[in-house]
A and B are shown apart, each in its own frame.
Chain A
Amino acid sequence: KQEVTQIPAALSVPEGENLVLNCSFTDSAIYNLQWFRQDPGKGLTSLLLIQSSQREQTSGRLNASLDKSSGRSTLYIAASQPGDSATYLCAASSSGNTPLVFGKGTRLSVIA
């Protein structure tokens, strides 16, 4: 059964800093991996989706990588801004018919 772990649980950085959020998963037979953002009391915003055949995806200041052999994914945020403050969730599925399994998230605070 797929399990997803995120480290660190919380992170506070000054504005402008580049940062990396880590995600690990137990089942290397991954179908896809998705990063989400969740603001307090709100729903999910999909940031990046990496298919099993891909190694990375980029969107603006965000870059996500996938290493199936080591069971890891990273989300890189460049030039962080206070508006990036939110909880970032990593989720993985093991096949096309199975649900996404979520990590507990990393709560990011970017200080102006």
Chain B
Amino acid sequence: GAVVSQHPSWVICKSGTSVKIECRSLDFQATTMFWYRQFPKQSLMLMATSNEGSKATYEQGVEKDKFLINHASLTLSTLTVTSAHPEDSSFYICSGRTDGTYGYTFGSGTRLTVV
């Protein structure tokens, strides 16, 4: 079945630094990639939607200059958290899908801790 490989699975960084999270679709072409975050004991909230070759669309309240999303190819999408702060500590997870299919394939998630 379809697989999305997400790396790293966890990362600890210092406040003010940037962190890049990668999601690769291994056996399908992800025409669309969705990025979610999940704070402790809360559900997954959509951050942004990216289509291959286009600029990402961000949800209200998500800073596009802080959370940089690149979807330059059908198999790779990245999320860069710039100038991270402790309040950015969260679980980030990507979800890829292919046009014309019903399923959404999720990565395994990245737990970011900013100290």
Chain A contacts to B: CB under 8 angstroms:
31-32, 34, 36, 41-44, 46, 49, 51, 89, 91, 93, 96-97, 99-105
Q: Are B102 and A43 in contact (CB under 8 A)?
A: no
Residue ID in chain A nearest B47 by CB atoms: A99
B residues 74-115 in Cβ contact with A at 8 Å: 93, 95, 99-100, 102-104, 106-109, 111
Contacts of B102 in A (CB 8 A): 31-32, 49, 51, 96
Known: A34-B104, A96-B100. A104 touches B109 (CB 8 A): no
* 27 A-B contact pairs sorted by A residue (CB < 8 Å): A31-B102, A32-B102, A34-B103, A34-B104, A36-B106, A41-B111, A42-B109, A43-B108, A44-B93, A44-B106, A46-B103, A46-B106, A49-B102, A51-B102, A89-B43, A96-B102, A97-B32, A97-B99, A99-B34, A99-B46, A99-B95, A102-B36, A102-B43, A102-B45, A103-B43, A104-B42, A104-B43
Decide yes or no whether B11 CB sits under 8 A from chain A: no
Decide yes or no whether B44 CB sits under 8 A from chain A: yes
Contacts of B106 in A (CB 8 A): 36, 43-44, 46
Complex CA gap A42/B38 in Å reads 11
Contacts of A89 in B (CB 8 A): 43-44
Q: Are A49 and B103 in contact (CB under 8 A)?
A: yes
B44 to chain A minimum Cβ distance, whole angstroms, is: 5
Decide yes or no whether B49 CB sits under 8 A from chain A: yes
Contacts of B100 in A (CB 8 A): 96
Q: Are A105 and B108 in contact (CB under 8 A)?
A: no
Known: A43-B93, A89-B43. A100 touches B108 (CB 8 A): no
Contacts of B46 in A (CB 8 A): 99, 101
Contacts of A93 in B (CB 8 A): 104
Q: Are A102 and B108 in contact (CB under 8 A)?
A: no
B109 to chain A minimum Cβ distance, whole angstroms, is: 4
Known: A34-B104, A41-B111, A43-B93. A96 touches B99 (CB 8 A): yes
Contacts of A36 in B (CB 8 A): 106
